[in-house]
Amino acid sequence: MLNDAKEDYFHFLQIERGLSDNTLISYKRDLDDYMHYVEKVSGKSEWNSVARNDIIGYLYMLKDNGKSTATISRHVSSIRSFHQFLIREQLVMQDASLHIETPKKERSLPDVLSLEEVESLLAVHDQSLLGIRNKAMLELLYATGLRVSEMITLKVSDLHLSMGFVQCFGKGSKERIVPIGDVAIKAVEHYLQHARDQILKQKKETILFVNQHGRPLSRQGFWKILKKVTKDAGIEKTITPHTLRHSFATHLLENGADLRVVQELLGHVDISTTQIYTHVSKARLKDMYKAFHPRA
């Protein structure tokens, strides 16, 4: 009985909801573990007899086994979805997953680069056409704190270099104006004057940063570029496309910028999202103190 309902559920996910194979595998793994607990630990043979306490017991078992908050949250989501299916198909009378709370995710501090690491990353000496482009992208990201998705969708018309700002469209197509410093302005101008047209080879393209084929650069394309530049700079730290954005915000706060200003620059709707960077700054100060104070 337990297994029959589970098979019907996966048929529903695959046919009616059209979920990907990877998502289906994830759901199946979670529900196999849950069903095993219901059968072997709770001793239930029918879903109609499964109660809220059975689910809570299962979640506590996951926690005792050292599962992360994110993993437990995923299990809660899988269980809820399954029990809602049981209700919809009238296989049970009550939803045992009702009012089961998802644990709050632990907010891990984002990785940031030190000023020395930023200098190393931006000290690009590759004067090839693509090297000039890469230098302009990295300088622009660190100067503005743009999301990578925002940078790769910038149009040439979004640049207002003579006035010292760029116009971008963030999440929800929300427009914001972000100032850009002299160093980044020079790098972008150098790209426009000495590389972009040559890369395009007379193709017409409104997007600012293009790949070697003259088409708009993708997130994956930028990711590969960043990994190569990081390796060439001798930086062993794992750097993601978001690391420069994190570093931009942290360095501003470390140098006395107002939190509300940083919120505006990053395009955060809620200031609580920006406040994570104040914790990063404090953590970095503690690390520096321990590293350099003689009695730390």
Nearest Cα residue to 243 out of 154, 110, 135:
110
Give me the residue label for tokens 């001793």: 43
Catalytic residue among 6, 75, 245, 246: 245
Max Cα distance, the chain (Å): 73
- By CB atoms closer than 10 A (0-12, 13-18, 19+), residue 84 is middle
Contact 195, 133 (CB under 8 A): yes
Is 171 tagged catalytic?
A: yes
- Cβ contact 209:192 at 8 Å: no
Kind of pairing between the strands at 175-179 and 165-169: antiparallel
Catalytic residue, chosen from 17, 224, 231, 242, is: 242
Q: How far apart are CA 180 and CA 161, in angstroms?
A: 8
Catalytic: which of 83, 133, 251, 268? Answer: 268
Question: Which residue, 150, 162, 262, is CA-closest to 209?
Answer: 150
Q: Could you say which of 17, 29, 107, 171 is catalytic?
A: 171
For the question of residue 251 being annotated catalytic, the response is: no
Q: Is 268 a catalytic residue?
A: yes
Catalytic: 215?
A: no
What is the C-alpha to C-alpha distance for residues 136 and 129, in angstroms, rounded to an integer?
Answer: 11
Active site residue 282: no
Exactly one of 6, 147, 196, 246 is catalytic; name it: 147
For the sheet with 159-160, list strands across it. 159-160, 165-169, 175-179
DSSP calls for 53-99: HHHHHHHHHHHHTT--HHHHHHHHHHHHHHHHHHHHTTS-SS-TTTT
Let me know if 17 is a catalytic residue: no
Catalytic positions, written as ranges: 147, 171, 242, 245, 268, 277
